[in-house]
Chain A
Amino acid sequence: MSSEDIAIKVEHVAKRFRLGLEDTMHDTFGAAMLDFIKSPLKNYRYYRSLYKFDDSSGPDAPNQPADILWALRDVSFQVKRGEVLGIIGTNGAGKSTLLKILSRITPPTRGSVEIRGRVSSLLEVGTGFHNELTGRENIYLNGTVLGMRKKEIDQKFDAIVDFSGVERFLDTPVKRYSSGMRVRLAFSVAAHLEPEILIIDEVLAVGDAAFQKKCMNKMQDVGEGGRTVLFVSHSMSAITRLCHRAILLNQGTVLQDGSTHDVVSAYLGSGQGSPSHKQWNDPATAPSGKVARLLAVRALDADRRISSAMKITQPIAIEIEFEVLTPGHILMPHFHVFNDEGIRLFAALDQDPQWRGKPRPAGRYISRGWIPANLLSEGLLYVSPALTTLQPDIPQFIVRDAISFQVMDSRHEGAESARGDYARNIKGVIRPLLTWESETAEISGQRSTA
């Protein structure tokens, strides 16, 4: 790989923040002046030594002062030209700091970054918007703040206004806009940036669902357009759909760098217990009725491993483990699947012939239901396990959204998935893979005579 193909090269970047700042900064100007007058030379040496000294002690040095925080410890990665890279990590992992360094908002403490190409960064939509200015004036102001030239904005002005849908209010001060209109206008300006490299931080977390979809599609086009994109998001669906590759940041270091699927799995699987596995060890707190008590519920991938990141092309098992306390009842374990909009996709009832219509003796049972591959739509899904006795119907337990998992539909599955090579957002709460056939109809009406 020649150096020409690298758009961003990040080498051993570290960023140190001083939490207290009490050593270098004074609380009041008066105190600082007094200090300054008392011993300028000492001060000068102190500042200087502080600078030089600290720089030689890295993030891994022992005896780190308590007020020092290394938001980034040692981050290195490269992004190829045209690559769309996702950056994920928990809050405080250093994602925002990394983007701020790449956007030149704050310099790194150590290490270096080399960027080849014009960069635009969107850490927030509507940066520089001023309430007193009209929509038109704000387009120009915001556009130039984001790094566009006036000539460029002139050319794209109509397209920006079109996309935003606020033509009528163009000469109204932005303070009279609804918050939705404001966001739409701001995003429209941002969406018409054409840098070689685009850095985006969660800007999609604004606006209503419809506008978010529109933004996602626009983002998709940006990625398709051969531009290099760095994308930070907490939405795993967005990351899997948009990005080929992802890096996982954790406490200022790159924990994993690889295919989006692997990295997202690692991210969802990390943390305190997987969200796709829940267990009740204490009988007192376990959801329970007179007849049965819930012990655990799990989401399993095709290899029967607990997983929070499922491929759309693979079957998924939901496992309910329960204990029968009172023997002699006919039981119906079942579960409901909800998407992240709270829509119930379906309920699945245990139809295993082994226990169908038969009363169960006391003991521990596991019911495992397999959701076929290529049925669920991508996104975050929640499972609510439940159990009811039949004749009479008495609910024993139901736990709303007990576990969750992410269904991932990347567009590299080809004919294996319903998506195929289509890259944009696909609507619908389910996404079955149909059998498609086609014929060439030579003349209309041929069929009836044939």
Chain B
Amino acid sequence: MIANESFIKMAKENSDNIPVTVIRPETGWKMIDLGELIKYRDLAYNLVWRDITVQHAQTILGFIWAIITPLVQILIFSVIFGRVAKISTDGIPYTLFTTVAIIPWTYMSMVMLQSSQSLVSGHNMLGKIYFPRLLYPLTPVISKLLNFGISLLLLLAIMVYYKVSPTLQLLYLPVFILMMMLVPAGVGMLMSAMAIRYRDIKFIMTYVVQMLMYSAPIVYSATSISEHYRFFYSLNPIVGVIEGYRACLLGTEIPWQFILPGMFTAILLFIGGAFYFKRVEKIFVDVI
């Protein structure tokens, strides 16, 4: 499905060493031009850097906010759901139970919100200069990894407090980190492309993120979902990410029945999001 143009482009480039760009009307579905993304890697690096530098500009606490944000949530959940509502957690201390979920969730929700707004907030650049548009929604996916890394310190502290020792299960963690990145990347590409046309998305995303949080086993245990609906429940990729983190970090058996359906959805979401983005990319500037 690689466009013919690219072949022509390559051929000409080789003949006289001058890059030839052909601009023509764009129709139909397009592939992601990986070569182009690589060509713009310096820009991607700078965009990520900008995002990181800017988010805590002129704050007193700076990156400590990356710890405070999940910490406050952990405290609230521990008190309300752990102490007051006394939600069952299969015998795990509630604070520990919810922390291993909140850390990846904080990353995912932050990326989803920022990524879905990336085109709208970047519309000044969008109309003035060309670079691969995918960089807009994908930048926060990378830049927020730093916050995620910092918040892992909090996780570590809480795990030490509860004397949880790492097991071999931890080796699976990279799989779930990848999955944790795929989901908001897919949502971000899809939603940013929609948001540039329908500014409603900005409002909708607030609710979507909230609903997604309660749809995943962050404050409650996945085992409390009736056997009947387990498969449909697990189609939500966030369920897989959370269950994966919990099993890896706490050393329990990895509940693949909760994870595999979500993994499938996550990959589908990512590919679908990318294709949709490329499909409507050409009208972005005209509908700003």
**Contact assessment for B129 and A107 in the assembled complex, using a CB-CB cutoff below 8 Å:** no
**Contact assessment for B26 and A107 in the assembled complex, using a CB-CB cutoff below 8 Å:** yes
Most B-side CB within 10 Å, residue of A123, A141, A145: A145
Contact residues in B for A102 (Cβ distance below 8 Å) = 23
CA distance A103 to B126 in the complex (A): 12
| Contact A132 B57, CB 8 Å, known A140-B46, A144-B43 | yes
**Contact assessment for B57 and A108 in the assembled complex, using a CB-CB cutoff below 8 Å:** no
Task: Give the shortest distance, in Å, between A283 (CB) and chain B (any CB).
Answer: 51
| Contact A105 B49, CB 8 Å, known A30-B200, A128-B129 | no
Contact residues in A for B18 (Cβ distance below 8 Å) = 116-117, 196
A17: CB under 8 A from chain B? yes
Name which residue of chain A comes closest to B131, CB basis: A145
**Contact assessment for A132 and B287 in the assembled complex, using a CB-CB cutoff below 8 Å:** no
Proximity string of chain A (291-332) to chain B, C-beta cutoff 8 Å, 1 when within and 0 when not: 000000000000000000000000000000000000000000
A113: CB under 8 A from chain B? yes
CA distance A31 to B124 in the complex (A): 28
| Contact A29 B194, CB 8 Å, known A21-B287, A107-B23, A115-B21 | yes
CA distance A323 to B285 in the complex (A): 57
Name which residue of chain B comes closest to A173, CB basis: B57
**Contact assessment for A117 and B19 in the assembled complex, using a CB-CB cutoff below 8 Å:** yes
**Contact assessment for A104 and B23 in the assembled complex, using a CB-CB cutoff below 8 Å:** yes
Proximity string of chain A (86-106) to chain B, C-beta cutoff 8 Å, 1 when within and 0 when not: 000000000000001111111
Contact residues in A for B282 (Cβ distance below 8 Å) = 106-107
Contact residues in A for B58 (Cβ distance below 8 Å) = 132
**Contact assessment for A105 and B24 in the assembled complex, using a CB-CB cutoff below 8 Å:** no
**Contact assessment for B198 and A32 in the assembled complex, using a CB-CB cutoff below 8 Å:** yes
From residue 3 to 34 of chain A, which have CB atoms closer than 8 A to chain B?
A: 4, 17-18, 21, 25-26, 28-30, 32
A400: CB under 8 A from chain B? no
Number of A-B contacts (CB under 8 A): 117
CA distance A104 to B46 in the complex (A): 21
**Contact assessment for B125 and A128 in the assembled complex, using a CB-CB cutoff below 8 Å:** yes
B130: CB under 8 A from chain A? yes
Proximity string of chain B (250-288) to chain A, C-beta cutoff 8 Å, 1 when within and 0 when not: 000000000000000000000000000000001001110
Most A-side CB within 10 Å, residue of B46, B49, B58: B46
**Contact assessment for A4 and B54 in the assembled complex, using a CB-CB cutoff below 8 Å:** no
Task: Give the shortest distance, in Å, between B123 (CB) and chain A (any CB).
Answer: 12
Category for how many chain B residues contact A: 35 or more
B6: CB under 8 A from chain A? no
Task: Give the shortest distance, in Å, between B65 (CB) and chain A (any CB).
Answer: 15
Category for how many chain A residues contact B: 35 or more
A51: CB under 8 A from chain B? yes
CA distance A128 to B136 in the complex (A): 12
Contact residues in A for B26 (Cβ distance below 8 Å) = 107
Name which residue of chain B comes closest to A100, CB basis: B285
Contact residues in B for A108 (Cβ distance below 8 Å) = 23-25
B227: CB under 8 A from chain A? no
| Contact A101 B23, CB 8 Å, known A21-B287, A29-B204, A121-B130 | yes
From residue 118 to 148 of chain A, which have CB atoms closer than 8 A to chain B?
A: 118-119, 121, 123-124, 127-128, 130, 132-133, 137, 140-141, 144-148
Task: Give the shortest distance, in Å, between B45 (CB) and chain A (any CB).
Answer: 8
**Contact assessment for B200 and A124 in the assembled complex, using a CB-CB cutoff below 8 Å:** no
**Contact assessment for B50 and A133 in the assembled complex, using a CB-CB cutoff below 8 Å:** yes
Contact residues in B for A259 (Cβ distance below 8 Å) = none
Task: Give the shortest distance, in Å, between A26 (CB) and chain B (any CB).
Answer: 7
A114: CB under 8 A from chain B? yes
Q: List 25 A-B contacts (CB under 8 A).
A: A29-B198, A100-B127, A101-B23, A103-B130, A105-B128, A107-B26, A108-B23, A108-B24, A109-B25, A111-B24, A115-B21, A119-B21, A124-B128, A127-B125, A130-B54, A132-B54, A132-B57, A137-B53, A141-B46, A141-B47, A141-B49, A144-B43, A144-B45, A144-B46, A146-B129
**Which A positions have Cβ atoms within 8 angstroms of B?**
4, 17-18, 21, 25-26, 28-30, 32, 51, 55, 100-119, 121, 123-124, 127-128, 130, 132-133, 137, 140-141, 144-150, 173, 196
**Which B positions have Cβ atoms within 8 angstroms of A?**
16, 18-27, 40, 42-43, 45-47, 49-50, 53-54, 57-58, 124-131, 194, 197-198, 200-201, 204, 282, 285-287
Q: A104-B23, A137-B49 are in contact. List 4 more A-B contacts (CB 8 A).
A: A29-B200, A107-B24, A113-B24, A130-B50
Nearest 3 pairs between A and B by C-beta? A132-B57, A29-B200, A144-B43
